[in-house]
Amino acid sequence: MSTIAADHVRTVPVTTTKRIPLTRITAVELRKMFDTRSGFWLIASIAITSALAAGGVILWAPEGELTYSTFATAIRFPVVIILPLIAILSVTSEWSQRTGLTTFTLVPHRGRIITAKAISAVAIAIAAMVLAFAVGALGNVLGAAIRGTTLVWDVTLTQCLYYVLGMVLSLLVGFMLGVLIRSSTGAIVAYFILTFLLPTIFGLLASSQQWFFDLQPWVDIQFAQAGLFVFEHTLTGTEWAHIAVTGVTWLVIPLLIGLALVMRSEVK
């Protein structure tokens, strides 16, 4: 009897669900950065401001300063402000636009979503820097032709890599603030405080207090990373240590705190 019953037992097939690959999640997050009007125009403004900065150098720079490094430096100022804003909005959009519940339901592993956002933001930063270098090169050629000066290429590959590293670190600061605060307005305000207000206070303190003058490179992240954007300067071991210490203090530790909060926070 038991043998006959066993023969009639229906075997239920076991179904397995494949994990969504990180590359697909990253592609989705990258596309989401272009979907909104604000995101599209922020990214488009990188090309627009780069072209305007190059045009300004051609029109008003002294003839002796019409070099590639001058164009790259001029283009850096608008780009270094825009890139962190893009990173902030890529993270905070899940909370400000109330899409987090959908996103984290489709992919319940929040760490993979944050990782995909970080990869897409860094990819945008690298692409933006390639565009900025290309615009700077075009401006250098046009500037020499229009102004009748000698064409000067005074930037090495190593210096370009330093430049890209500095831009990526600036973007990651914005990304960290987005993860930590998870509010577009709050993160943007915190970014401008960290980027402009605190360095001013640190500079005033360093100019008036000798004890802080020696301490500033170890606590001021903007001061420590400034050498990455100086083309004629070679970073020393001590300066790399300044970048590492301030990076851990102002970037890594707050980012870890923000990630812990993201993993535990309620998504509505």
Cβ-contact 34, 123 below 8 angstroms = no
Residue in this structure with the two tokens 């909005």, named with its chain if needed: 89
| Average predicted confidence (pLDDT) for the chain | 86
Cβ-contact 124, 117 below 8 angstroms = no
Confidence of residue 180 (pLDDT cuts 50, 70, 90): very high
- Residues 56, 58, 59, 60: is their CA dihedral positive or negative? positive
* Closest to 199 measured CA to CA, from 163, 223, 224: 223
Q: What is the pLDDT of residue 2?
A: 47
pTM value?
0.87
The CA-CA-CA angle for residues 240, 137, 61, to 5°, reads 90
pLDDT tens by residue, 121-157? 899 888 888 888 999 999 999 999 998 888 999 888 8
Cβ-contact 56, 62 below 8 angstroms = no
Residue in this structure with the two tokens 């003058």, named with its chain if needed: 213
Cβ-contact 137, 72 below 8 angstroms = no
Residue in this structure with the two tokens 């995909």, named with its chain if needed: 116
pLDDT of 7 strictly over 60: no
b (16+ CB within 10 A) / e for 66-100? bbbbbbbbbbbebbebbbbbbbbbbbbbbbeeeeb
Residues 6+ apart with CB under 8 A from 96: 183, 184
pLDDT of 267 strictly over 80: no
What is the residue extent of each domain of the chain?
A: 19-263
Pick from 102-106, 181-185, 262-266: least confident: 102-106
d(CA 20, CA 177): 27
d(CA 128, CA 125): 5
